[in-house]
């Protein structure tokens, strides 16, 4: 159990231990939502053809994340409306080669407006959201012989509170908590981070996720997890840890079942059709 000093690239390349691969939340999500074969393909230490994901689509979110958490992140705003021209592409590529995040001029204006809106909304909360803590805390621990890793957006100095930050197209509470929260594995993230802090520090931290919409007015909402969410997420994690351990031991990483799967009509599809059918005059 330890706190590691790793860069973002080192973390995502799994530089935790030179002798064995580690399990992360993103790999658990592959195991839970897809198959061991998908987990193998996504792991930097297992797949010989693995390459870092192109995250250019997330540049605005990356910069917003860095500004909010006070992380030093070089940004180069370029005077173009899009990346369509060769000149824009060349300057974008040069910026990346120098370790900078390239943004179009209007993106830089937008991300600053987003941060102003986030600061204003977080200031309305009774207590500061990101305070008395450290950004991007990287943890390593073991569970049942499995090496684990996690990188937390924010962990308070007393190790009692985990804070996360995400951008989303839609943060409307009902829709996000019923869909995106589970689709993107934030339930697994909450439980995984909590397990990591408990293993490394012996505390039982709370978890909160601040989500801000990507478009004006950049509305923000903070979510926490009910005990039922964490209970189910922990059950998923226990299962995934067992599958991961077995796959490492056997060298077998199965994909989807080879059996033929029959498609049946979901009730809502059938109801949708009958409503349309009944609405058409005879």
What is the spatial distance between Cα 29 and Cα 33, in angstroms, rounded to a whole number?
6
Residue with token string 């180069």: 76
pLDDT band, residue 133 (cuts 50/70/90): very high
Tell me which of 133 and 59 has the higher pLDDT. 133
**55-64, 130-139, 178-187, range with the lowest pLDDT:** 55-64
pLDDT band, residue 21 (cuts 50/70/90): very high
Strands (E), the chain: 2-4, 75-78, 101-104, 133-143, 146-156, 161-168, 206-213, 220-224
Contact in structure between 145 and 242 (CB atoms under 8 Å):
no
pLDDT for position 96: 86
| Average pLDDT for the chain | 92
What is the spatial distance between Cα 253 and Cα 190, in angstroms, rounded to a whole number?
26
Name the token pair of 245: 């351990």
| HSE value, Cβ hemisphere, 13 Å, CA-based, for 248 | 17
**7-11, 54-58, 155-159, 215-219, range with the lowest pLDDT:** 54-58
149 Cβ contact list (under 8 Å, min separation 6)? 4, 11, 14, 16, 22, 23, 24, 138, 139, 140, 196
pLDDT band, residue 226 (cuts 50/70/90): very high
Domains, the chain, in order of start with CATH, read: 2-53+125-278 (3.90.320.10)
* Mean pLDDT in residue range 260-281: 85
pLDDT band, residue 8 (cuts 50/70/90): confident
CA distances from residue 150 to 78, 139, 207 in whole angstroms, order as listed: 34, 5, 14
pLDDT for position 282: 59
pLDDT for position 171: 95
pLDDT higher than 90, residue 272: no
What is the spatial distance between Cα 202 and Cα 259, in angstroms, rounded to a whole number?
45
pLDDT band, residue 74 (cuts 50/70/90): confident
* Mean pLDDT in residue range 231-245: 97
* Mean pLDDT in residue range 30-39: 97
pLDDT higher than 70, residue 34: yes
pLDDT higher than 70, residue 281: no
Query: Tell me: the pLDDT tens digits for 38-71?
Result: 999 999 999 999 887 766 777 888 899 889 988 8
pLDDT higher than 80, residue 277: no
* Mean pLDDT in residue range 6-30: 93
pLDDT for position 61: 85
pLDDT higher than 80, residue 179: yes
């Amino acid at each position: 159990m330890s706190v590691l000093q790793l860069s973002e690239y080192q973390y995502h390349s799994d530089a935790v231990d030179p002798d064995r691969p580690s399990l992360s939340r993103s790999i658990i999500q592959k195991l839970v939502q897809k198959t061991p074969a998908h987990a193998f393909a996504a792991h930097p230490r297992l797949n010989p053809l693995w390459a870092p994901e192109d995250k250019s689509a997330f540049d605005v979110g990356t910069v917003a994340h860095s500004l909010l958490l006070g992380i030093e992140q070089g940004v180069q705003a370029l005077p173009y409306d899009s990346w369509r021209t060769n000149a824009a592409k060349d300057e974008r590529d040069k910026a990346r080669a120098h370790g900078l995040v390239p943004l179009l001029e209007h993106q830089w204006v937008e991300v600053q407006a987003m941060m102003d809106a986030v600061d204003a909304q977080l200031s309305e909360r009774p207590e500061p959201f990101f305070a008395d803590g450290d950004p991007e805390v990287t943890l390593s621990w073991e569970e049942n012989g499995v090496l684990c890793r996690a990188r937390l957006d924010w962990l308070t100095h007393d190790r009692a509170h985990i804070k996360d930050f995400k951008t989303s197209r839609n943060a409307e509470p009902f829709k996000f908590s019923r869909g995106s929260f589970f689709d993107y594995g934030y339930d697994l993230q909450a439980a995984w981070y909590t397990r990591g802090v408990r293993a490394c520090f012996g505390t039982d931290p709370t978890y909160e996720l601040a989500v801000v919409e990507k478009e004006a007015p950049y509305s923000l909402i903070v979510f926490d997890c009910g005990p039922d969410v964490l209970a189910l997420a922990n059950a998923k994690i226990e299962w995934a840890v067992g599958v991961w351990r077995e796959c490492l031991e056997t060298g077998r990483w199965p994909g989807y079942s080879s059996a033929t799967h029959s498609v049946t009509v979901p009730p809502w599809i059938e109801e949708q059709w009958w409503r349309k059918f009944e609405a058409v005059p005879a």
